[in-house]
Amino acid sequence: MSHVVGSPDTEDHRGEASYYDRDGRDYHKWNGDEDRQYRSYLVERHRTYVPFVKVKVRERQEYFRYRHEHGFKIEVR
């Protein structure tokens, strides 16, 4: 189960929050850089933006898997 360390009730992230990646057994700090990565991930997969705090656990795990496979590179288009 993923959980948020910080303020999970906000629609967007003001400041930083951390999400536990069950499969990767690590935490992902949510900040501006991570949000840009997430938005790039959504564009690549032709998905509509949903604030990460509202994303279902299964979809979060898909994103974390992607992040571990692709590292931290951001492509600017």
pLDDT digits (tens, 9 = 90+) for 3-61: 444 444 344 555 678 899 898 888 888 988 899 999 999 999 999 999 999 999 999 99
**Is the residue at 42 inside a domain?**
yes
Looking at the domain assignment, is residue 33 inside a domain? Answer: yes
Q: In angstroms, rounded to a whole number, what is the distance separating the alpha carbons of residues 19 and 31? A: 11
Residue 77: inside a domain: no
φ, ψ (nearest 5 deg) of residue 29:
-80, 125
Q: Is 76 within the bounds of a domain?
A: no
Task: Look at residue 25 and tell me if it is in a domain.
Answer: yes
How many domains does the chain divide into?
1
> Is pLDDT larger for residue 71 or for residue 53?
53
Contact 12, 70 (CB under 8 A): no
- Residue 42 in contact with residue 63, Cβ under 8 Å? no
Query: Is residue 9 included in any domain, yes or no?
Result: yes
In angstroms and rounded to an integer, the radius of gyration of the C-alpha atoms of the chain is 12
Which single residue is written with the structure tokens 């990565």? 37
Q: Is residue 18 part of a domain?
A: yes
Residue 27's domain spans which residues?
4-70
Question: Is the pTM above the cut of 0.85?
Answer: no
